[in-house]
Copies of this chain bind each other. A is one copy, B any other.
């Protein structure tokens, strides 16, 4: 199957190039970028020199891409707002579109407006576009041809919480979430705040209290809980390139054993979620470069809280790896194809 990446100039784009170049079932046929059109991928992504041969960036023209007869699946690694400009014609042309932007993550256009400060660019497509965390969605999404990939923070939060909320093992209200992200979470942003000497040996909170991912987190957790789930979410920057460490405090309604039984049932056959024993703590270093989410929890009898730790690589399970996993499942490839 021929695939293309649209808007591949950033870190998620580069990770997609890496994953698709090595994938046993697909061919990476085109890589587009408005700013890099005409340049060799090997020169722009020197870490991938041995993988990409003479592949060259092409211009990003939605209509032309839609008319391309051979390419079946398109990955959109574009900013929100821009992604829709491509999703629409590709979707109409019958292509499969796996969108890594925020454009189709939220079911509510008013939430989109308030979170992204602009009207939703393609509200008529929302119905057609399922939001897919592969381990959490039922199989109906596999027939869709426009798919919304989750955000990085939301992935690290939903994987531990959704099964527990569905099973009623934690209270849906009063959930407190702290996340620390490696700097690649900000993308390839060239700004004083992101130069090496400003971020090295540095940790800080940002965007409190209303980070854009809050609406996505709450929409999904509320669906799982069949109840309104308002969370306190605090994102931070940490001095490392990749990785998200998330710590969640939720009031427990059951025993720790029931929590673990729930997780083990949910993830028994899933290759990319590792449930670690209570008292063992996930480490971002152990998931960097993988599509895994490692998680564990303790119960604090003094507060009756469940304290959950989860870690992912923000560029893999939090973005490009999960997008490839979605493609694998949709097309009946092995779930782990190209991801080990």
Contact = CB atoms under 8 A, between A and B. Distances in A.
Interface of A: 11, 21-22, 46-47, 49-51, 174, 176, 178, 180, 182-184, 188-192, 194-206, 208-210, 230-232, 234, 236, 238-243, 245, 247, 249, 271-272, 274, 281-292, 294, 298-300, 302-303, 305, 307, 309, 311, 336, 340
6 contacts: A190-B191, A198-B285, A205-B245, A209-B298, A209-B303, A238-B239
Contacts of A239: 196, 238-240
Nearest to A179: B178
A203 B285 CA distance: 7
A47 B232 CA distance: 29
B178 A247 contact: yes
Number of copies: 4
Contacts of A191: 190
Nearest to A272: B50
A115 to B, nearest CB: 13
Given A176-B176, A208-B298, A340 B51 contact: yes
Nearest to A340: B22
A305 B174 CA distance: 10
A50 B196 contact: no
A196 B188 contact: no
A202 B241 CA distance: 10
Given A196-B199, A238-B180, A240-B203, A209 B50 contact: no
Contacts of A291: 50
A118 B247 CA distance: 31
Contacts of A174: 174
A202 B232 CA distance: 24
